[in-house]
Amino acid sequence: MEIERKYLIDGTLPFSLEPFSCHLIEQAYLCTAPVVRVRRQDQDYILTYKGSGLMAREEYNLPLTATSYAHLLTKADGNIITKKRYVIPLAGGLRAELDLFEGTFDGLRIVEVEFPTEKDANAFTAPAWFGEEVTFSCAYHNSTLSSLTIAPGQTWRDLAAYRR
């Protein structure tokens, strides 16, 4: 079970990202209902199934080889998402996963926090540097972003009306 809350980051971060660990992520979707995703995170390759839901949903991960990942990537629909993920410790042993999107979604910044229980998620108070909460909007799911059609010369920012 994955239990997470998700926020946009609109302003300037009040700290440098340099001291935090960073992962390079590339992911694509084979299906969005249900969600079936392939991901390369650094040198790890993963096939993920996600059930329906917004804050809490089933999630299953299976390891892939680099060859299997490359093969499945050619079967993906829509946009391939690339991003840098910074892992930032928070109070109470939690951690923020700050995604800085690149490529098609360059400039989009989303932070997620995962929780052991829904009670913990509901009790969470976001730090001041977190922006608008988008936990309950499927518009900011990576699977949704992967299916957006962006015309030549447009960016994801041109689709703001769709996402709100």
The H or E element that residue 61 is part of is strand 59-64
Q: Which of 7, 29, 45, 86 is catalytic?
A: 29
Q: Which of 110, 93, 98 is nearest to 15 (CA)?
A: 98
Tokens of 162: 């769709």
The label of the residue with tokens 């329906």 reads 52
Among this protein's residues, is 60 annotated catalytic?
no
Q: What is the DSSP letter of 53?
A: -
Q: Which residues are identified as catalytic?
A: 29
